[in-house]
């Protein structure tokens, strides 16, 4: 097997979710279980400006890599650097790669077709949230629901129904980030996941349209300074520029 094929057969698990949903907590519990089953995943944490999650991950005694996207879109950054992450995993003799994204604007999804896409969502965010969450929920293979112990059984059941409306094919796992309840089921899913076979991996969902002038540093508010594909609140969309 060539090196490139080797890299492509490495199972890739991508974790996305809103800030504070409990991505890192549920991962720590899940990875502990994987470790006790003699698995050796490499862990990558992507964040925008700063993170100290790598310290929590490092305690697990597994290879940990941190990437800070700074001025770049964090999801774009994580996809652009996939090869580097896979090489890191391979160099450290890992049997899989688990990447936790920063995931912020909710208009794209960081999952590739070959990966196991895992969305972490906080059930205290209310039953309307799954409908608003966008592609990082609707394109996920597994949806992990956290903080279920803080709401009533009825609210939990409604939340679950709403997730299934947004993503009828997903597998839902309830995990308690504090005590790890449910993490065993998630670890089981991680363990049984095999890398997809398609040679050229693609994103499951497109990112938002093009680049806007704010993205390239414009700070002035007045309408006349804006270029690119612009959408007015009245529904009109136009392209301004050359």
Partner 1 sequence: MVKIECISLIGGIDKSGNPENITSLDIRKGEIIGIVGPTGSGKSQLIADIEQLSQKDSSTRRQILVNGKVPSPALRNDPRQKMVAQLSQNMNFLADMEVRDFLRLHARCRGKDQISTDEIIQKANQLTGEPIKPNDNLTILSGGQTRALMVADVAVISESPIVLIDEIENAGIKKHEALELLSGHNKLIMIVTHDPVMALSAKKRIIMKNGGMSTLLEATPEENIVSEQLTGIDATILQLRELLRNGKHIRETDLHNLPQSLLCKEENASLTL
Q: Where do contacts with partner 1 occur on this chain (CB under 8 A)? A: 124, 126-128, 149-155, 157-158, 160-161, 172, 174, 179-185
Pinpoint the alpha helices (H) of 116-217: 129-132, 135-138, 153-166, 183-192
Instruction: Give the nearer residue to partner 1 in terms of CB position, either 95 or 185.
Output: 185
Instruction: Give the nearer residue to partner 1 in terms of CB position, either 92 or 181.
Output: 181
Q: What angle do CA 105, 176, 103 make, to 5 degrees?
A: 15
The closest alpha carbon to 110, from 143, 84, 73, 146, belongs to 73
Instruction: Give the nearer residue to partner 1 in terms of CB position, either 58 or 150.
Output: 150
Q: For the purposes of burial, counting CB atoms within 10 Å of the CB of 231, is it exposed (0-12), middle (13-18) or buried (19 or more)?
A: exposed
Minimum Å distance from CB 35 to partner 1?
Answer: 16
For residues 213 and 171, give the distance between their C-alpha atoms in angstroms, rounded to a whole number: 39
Minimum Å distance from CB 151 to partner 1?
Answer: 5
Minimum Å distance from CB 134 to partner 1?
Answer: 19
For residues 86 and 42, give the distance between their C-alpha atoms in angstroms, rounded to a whole number: 9
Minimum Å distance from CB 175 to partner 1?
Answer: 10
Minimum Å distance from CB 146 to partner 1?
Answer: 13
Minimum Å distance from CB 153 to partner 1?
Answer: 5
Instruction: Give the nearer residue to partner 1 in terms of CB position, either 87 or 161.
Output: 161
Q: What radius of gyration do the chain's Cα atoms show?
A: 19
Instruction: Give the nearer residue to partner 1 in terms of CB position, either 155 or 201.
Output: 155
Q: 230 phi and psi, to 5 degrees?
A: -120, 135
For residues 57 and 153, give the distance between their C-alpha atoms in angstroms, rounded to a whole number: 32
Instruction: Give the nearer residue to partner 1 in terms of CB position, either 9 or 179.
Output: 179
């Amino acid at each position: 097997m060539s090196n490139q094929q080797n890299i492509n057969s490495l199972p890739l698990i991508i974790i996305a979710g809103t800030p504070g949903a409990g991505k890192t907590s549920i991962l720590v519990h899940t990875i502990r279980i994987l470790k006790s089953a003699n698995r050796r995943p490499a862990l990558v944490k992507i964040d925008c400006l700063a993170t100290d999650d790598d310290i929590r991950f490092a305690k697990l005694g597994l290879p940990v890599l941190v990437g800070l996207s700074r001025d770049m879109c964090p999801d774009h950054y994580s996809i652009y650097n996939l090869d580097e992450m896979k090489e890191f995993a391979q160099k450290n003799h890992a049997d899989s790669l688990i990447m936790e994204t920063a995931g912020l604007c909710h208009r794209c999804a960081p999952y590739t077709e070959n990966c196991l896409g895992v969305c972490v969502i906080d059930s205290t965010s209310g039953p309307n949230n799954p409908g608003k969450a966008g592609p990082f929920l609707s394109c996920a293979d597994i949806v992990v629901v956290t903080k279920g112990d803080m709401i009533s059984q009825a609210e939990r059941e409604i939340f679950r129904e709403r997730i299934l409306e947004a993503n009828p094919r997903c597998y839902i796992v309830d995990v308690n980030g504090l005590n790890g309840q449910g993490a065993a089921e998630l670890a089981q899913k991680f363990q049984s996941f095999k890398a997809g076979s398609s040679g050229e991996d693609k994103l499951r969902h497109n990112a938002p349209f093009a680049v806007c002038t704010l993205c390239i540093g414009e700070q002035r508010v007045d309408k006349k300074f804006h270029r690119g594909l612009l959408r007015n609140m009245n529904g009109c969309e136009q392209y301004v520029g050359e």
